[in-house]
Amino acid sequence: MEAFELKKNFFWVGAIDWSVRDFHGYETPRGTTYNNYLIIDKEITLIDTVKYDFSDITIKHIKGLVDPSQIKHVVINHIENDHATAIDRIMSLCPEATIHITERGKKGLDRFFDTSRWKFHIVKTGDTLNIGQNNLIFVETPMLHWPDSMMTFCPEAAILFSQDGFGQHLASTARFDDDFTNCVSSTILDDAVVDYYANILMPFGQIILEAVSNLQKLGIKPEIIAPDHGIIWRAKPQQVIDSYIAMASGKSDLRALIVYDTMWKSTELMSVPISEGIRDEGVDCRVLKLRATPMNVIIREFWKARGTLFGTPTLNNIMFPTVAECLTHLRGLRPRNRIAGAFGSYGWGGGAVKEAYEIFTKMGLELFEPGLQVIYRPSSEDEEKCYQFGRSFAARIKEYHAQF
Ligand code: FEO
C-alpha cells in the first residue's frame, strides 16, 4: 500500500501489521496499523513515526512523496515503542529536523536513544507551530495513556492527530471509517473502539473527560480524527468522541456477563440456570468461558456489561488460576460502576468464592452478595438456587443501571 492522502497535502505514511496477534500480551486477532502522517507545506512535517520493524515501509511511503532530508519538523505525540522506535532511522534521513515533544516525552526518549544528536523543541498545551499555510496546536494529554502523551491539531485542515486516543487495533486496507463500514462492518469497528478503550484506556476515564473538555476549551472541533492505530475518523468524528465521553462517564449496556472456568463441568453446569434466570428477569446475558476466549474479549465484554458473575471452581482452597488471572488483568484496569458476584463448585473445603469477593472489594466493585457455592455437582435443588441467583443478579443490575 502506498501513502494515502487524507486531505490535500496531508498524507498517511504508516504501516499495516496484518500478522500481529500478541501486542505486549494484548491479543489482536485483527492485527493493527501504526499510523503516522506527513504534511507537505512550506516546512514539511512528520507526525509520529512507527514501530521499528516497519521503518522501511514508512520511509518508502515518505520517499514516494518527498526527499526525507527536506523534513523540517518531526512531532512525537507519544513515545511508546510502537510509535517512536523508528525515530532513529527517520532522524538519520533528516538530521537537521526539529523534534517537537512534551517535556516528559523528551525525558522518556532520552532513556531509549542517544538524543544528544537531535534538536528538540519542548511543547506545552496551547503552543503553536507555523509550518507555512498550516499551524499545529499542541495539547498535552498526560496519562492518556502515558505521561508523555499529547495530541496535535491543525486548525486549517481541522485534523486532530490523536495518537492512541480514538484508535483501534484493526488491520485493513480501508483508511477511513466510512470506507471500513461500507466494505467490512460497523459492528466490527464499534467493537474495536470498545475493545481498545476497555483494555488500554479504562483506568483513565476521568483524564479522558478532562482531555475532551480541554480540546473543547481550545475550540478544537476536528473534522478528521487521525489516531495512531486503525481507522481514521472522517464520517463520524463526533460519534467516537461521544462514545469516549459515554464510556468515561461510566455508561454501559443493560447487560450481564458470566465469565467462568470449570474443572469437571460443575461450575459450567451452574452457569446455565444462572443465565436463564438473568434472561427471565429481562436482562441480556453473555456467557464466556475462560480458556476458550481471548482475554481482551473478556475485558471488552466485562466493560460492556453492567454486571459480571465470575464462576470459579475451588482448587487447593483458592480460585481457579484462570479466574485469578482474569481478575488480575481487571484489577490493573481499575473498573468503576460495575457490579460483581461469584459462584462455583467445590469438593471439600471451598474458598474460591470467598477469595473472589475479597478481590472485588479491593477493586472497589459494587458487590452482589452473597455468592453461591455448590458441593461437587449441582442437584436439581441447586439448579433452582442458581436460577434464583441469576434472577436476583439481574434485578440488582436493573436497579443499579437506572442510576446512570
Ligand atoms: Fe500505541 Fe501507547 O502506544
Domains of the chain and CATH, by start: 4-248 (3.60.15.10), 256-399 (3.40.50.360)
Which protein residues touch ligand 1 with a CB less than 6 Å away? Answer: 78, 80, 82-83, 145-146, 164, 228-229
* Residue 381 CA, ligand 1 centroid: distance in Å: 50
Is the full-model pTM beyond 0.85?
Answer: yes
Res. 191: pLDDT tops 70: yes
**Residues 256-315: pLDDT tens digits?**
999 999 999 999 999 999 999 999 999 999 999 999 999 999 999 999 999 999 999 999
Catalytic positions: 24, 78, 80, 82, 145, 164, 196, 229
Question: What's the first-to-final CA gap in the chain, in angstroms?
Answer: 44
Per-residue pLDDT of 324-358, as tens digits, reads 999 999 999 999 999 999 999 999 989 999 999 99
Residue 25's pLDDT is 84
| CA-229 nearest atom, ligand 1 | 1
* Mean pLDDT value across the chain: 96
Atom of ligand 1 nearest to the CA of 81: 3
Distance 218 CA to ligand 1 centre (A): 24
Over residues 219-235, the pLDDT tens digits come to: 999 999 999 999 999 99
C-alpha dihedral, 192 to 194 to 196 to 199, nearest 10°: -130
Which ligand 1 atom minimizes the distance to the CA of 34?
1
Report CA(24)–ligand 1 centroid distance (Å): 10
Q: Are 338 and 252 in contact (CB under 8 A)?
A: yes
Distance 40 CA to ligand 1 centre (A): 25
pLDDT digits (tens, 9 = 90+) for 61-114: 999 999 999 999 999 999 999 999 999 999 999 999 999 999 999 999 999 999
Ligand 1 centroid vs 79 CA: distance in angstroms? Answer: 8
Confidence band of 115 (pLDDT split at 50, 70, 90): very high
- Determine the atom of ligand 1 nearest the C-alpha atom of 145: 2
- Give the residues across from 73 on adjacent strands: 45, 98
Please say if the pLDDT value at position 147 is more than 80. Answer: yes
Q: Which residues does 252 contact at the CB level (< 8 Å), separation at least 6?
A: 303, 304, 305, 306, 337, 338, 401, 404
The residue whose CA is least distant from atom 2 of ligand 1 is: 80
SS3 state of residue 259: strand
Can you give the pLDDT at residue 1?
67
pLDDT reported for residue 2: 83
Ligand 1: residue whose CA is nearest its atom 3: 80
The span from the CA of 125 to the CA of 77, in Å, is 12
